């Protein structure tokens, strides 16, 4: 590392409308050194997730309410990194770890923070560790299996179906013998869902009447709705929910940048009348159970029965683009970034 510098993206401006590179500032600084109980990692692969927009913050909203990173501090996200120097008893040089780090070449950590650091399981490639075995796959796996309590033959509807979480959840639902109705926006996403994911029905919410398409796709009602979008589609699903139905609230991308804020579901009383339930899924809480996800999904990935659909950028300079693509609808599958030299 002699003579090297630490390239970094700092949070420079709160989001007012669309998020872009203008919300960040590119800087270079000396490489930090770990203190006692800390380690230094070289960051290799980054995951981009819609909730990162909360870390940038919203114009006109106090940081104390939003949980935003203070202006002038490094932007953060989940990544797979290599330990290059350690003064921590739990990590050694050469370890590959998954943790919440800065958008930078090198980060000092201590294994704690917004989410605990953990070693990448043996035999898992770093891109899979950042995607299907990171926060994305954790949300999809436990959302489909534990929160939804899915059973063969049920009708499973999912929004954001061609995104990072959705692209895995669709396939897991099919592997569990559910009838899958996948909702996404745009030809590229819908083509992938039709041709590769195994979804039984694909609805493009940018074309036609979603309510009518849902009625055609699920004439007898919906057992499970895996919600990655929030907004009007949630209301439409509530209208068609069956008795004992389950709604998994995993994300609400339609609401994250809405100004003024969108109203909540107007017909939530359906949950009472149908003895149904709606439950939130915070994937971070399931990260300690990553070994279970690896045991369940690694054989499926290796056999080709499960596909890790990835949308790849290369180079730290493109980190702001990686986040903005989630809100422009440009990504198909999990948005990842591989670091340059």
Residue 248 domain flag: yes
Residue 44 exposed, middle or buried by CB count within 10 Å (0-12, 13-18, 19+): middle
- pLDDT at position 4, please? 82
pLDDT score recorded for residue 62: 67
Average pLDDT of the segment spanning 98-117: 96
What token pair was written down for 143? 């959302």
Within this chain, do residues 143 and 217 fall inside the same structural domain, yes or no? yes
Whether residue 261 is predicted with pLDDT greater than 70 in this model: the reply is no
Domains: count for the chain:
2
Residues 209 and 94 in one domain: no
If asked whether residues 65 and 86 sit together in one domain, one would say yes
Q: Which residues contact 54 (CB under 8 A, 6 or more apart)?
A: 66, 67, 68, 256
**Per-residue three-class SS string for 248-274:** EECCCCCCCCCCCCCCCCCCCCHHHHC
pLDDT at 88 > cutoff 80 = yes
According to the model, what pLDDT value does residue 167 have? 97
Residues 239 and 334 in one domain: no
Joined tokens for residue 90 = 């739990």
The more confidently predicted of residues 148 and 255 is 148
Per the CB < 8 A criterion, the answer to whether 180 and 199 are in contact is yes
In a domain, 277, yes or no: yes
Evaluate the CA torsion angle 192, 197, 198, 200 in order and state its sign. Answer: negative
Per the structure, the complete domain to which residue 119 belongs is given by 6-131+308-338
Percent of the chain with pLDDT over 90: 87
pLDDT bucket at 133, cuts 50 / 70 / 90: very high
| Confidence at residue 58, expressed as pLDDT on a 0 to 100 scale | 87
Same domain, 193 and 256: yes
Q: Please answer whether residues 144 and 176 qualify as being in contact, where contact means their C-beta atoms are separated by less than 8 angstroms.
A: yes
pLDDT in tens, 177-197: 999 999 999 999 999 999 999
Q: Does 156 lie in the same domain as 118? A: no
Q: Are residues 143 and 274 in the same domain?
A: yes
- CATH number where 216 lies: 3.40.50.720
Q: Which helix (H) or strand (E) holds 196?
A: none
Query: Which of the four pLDDT bands, split at 50, 70 and 90, describes residue 203?
Result: very high
Tell me how far apart the alpha carbons of residues 269 and 105 are, in angstroms, rounded to a whole number: 50
66: pLDDT strictly greater than 80? no
Q: Does residue 170 share a domain with residue 73?
A: no
b/e map 227-257, b = 16+ CB within 10 Å: bbbbbebbbbbbebbbeebbbbbbbbbbebe
- In this prediction, residue 298 carries a pLDDT of 97
In a domain, 302, yes or no: no
Answer whether residue 60 shows pLDDT above 90: no
Mean pLDDT of 75-101: 97
**Does residue 292 form part of some domain?**
no
Q: Residue 293 domain-assigned?
A: no
Q: How much is the pLDDT for 256?
A: 76
CATH code for the domain of 70: 3.90.180.10
290 falls within a domain? no
Indicate if 40 and 64 belong to the same structural domain.
Answer: yes
Task: Give domain status of residue 295, yes or no.
Answer: no
Contact of 227 with 252, CB cutoff 8 Å: yes
pLDDT grade for 64, boundaries at 50, 70 and 90:
low
Give yes or no: residues 151 and 258 share one domain: yes
Same domain membership, residue 114 and residue 140: no
Q: Are residues 150 and 256 in the same domain?
A: yes
């Amino acid at each position: 590392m002699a003579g090297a510098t630490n390239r970094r993206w700092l949070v420079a401006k709160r989001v007012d409308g669309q998020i872009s590179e203008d919300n960040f500032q590119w800087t270079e600084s000396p490489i930090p050194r770990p203190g006692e109980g800390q380690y230094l990692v070289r960051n290799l692969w980054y995951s981009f997730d819609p909730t990162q927009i909360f870390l940038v913050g919203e114009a006109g909203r106090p940081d104390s309410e939003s949980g935003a990173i203070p202006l002038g501090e490094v932007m953060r996200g989940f990544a797979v990194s290599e330990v290059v120097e350690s003064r921590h008893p739990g990590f050694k040089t050469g370890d590959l770890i998954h943790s919440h780090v800065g958008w930078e070449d090198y980060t000092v950590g201590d294994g704690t923070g917004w989410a605990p650091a953990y070693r990448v399981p043996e035999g898992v490639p770093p891109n899979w560790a950042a995607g299907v075995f990171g926060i994305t796959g954790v949300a999809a796996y436990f959302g489909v299996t534990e929160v939804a309590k899915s059973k063969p033959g049920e009708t499973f509807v999912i929004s954001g179906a061609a995104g990072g979480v959705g692209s895995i959840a669709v396939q897991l639902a099919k592997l569990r013998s559910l009838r899958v109705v996948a909702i996404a926006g745009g030809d590229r996403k819908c083509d992938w869902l039709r041709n590769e994911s195994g979804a039984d029905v694909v609805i493009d919410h940018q074309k036609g009447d979603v309510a009518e398409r849902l009625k055609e796709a699920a004439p007898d009602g919906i057992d499970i709705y895996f919600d990655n979008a929030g907004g009007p589609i949630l209301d439409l699903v509530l209208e068609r929910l069956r008795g004992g139905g389950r709604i998994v609230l995993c994300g609400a991308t339609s609401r994250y940048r809405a100004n003024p804020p969108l109203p909540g579901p107007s017909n939530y009383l359906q949950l009472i009348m149908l003895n149904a339930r709606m439950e939130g899924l915070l994937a971070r809480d399931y990260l300690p159970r990553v070994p279970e996800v690896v045991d369940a999904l690694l054989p499926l990935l290796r056999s080709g029965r499960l596909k890790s659909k990835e949308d790849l950028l290369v180079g730290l300079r493109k980190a702001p683009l990686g986040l903005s693509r989630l809100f422009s609808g440009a990504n198909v599958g999990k948005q990842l970034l591989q670091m340059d030299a």
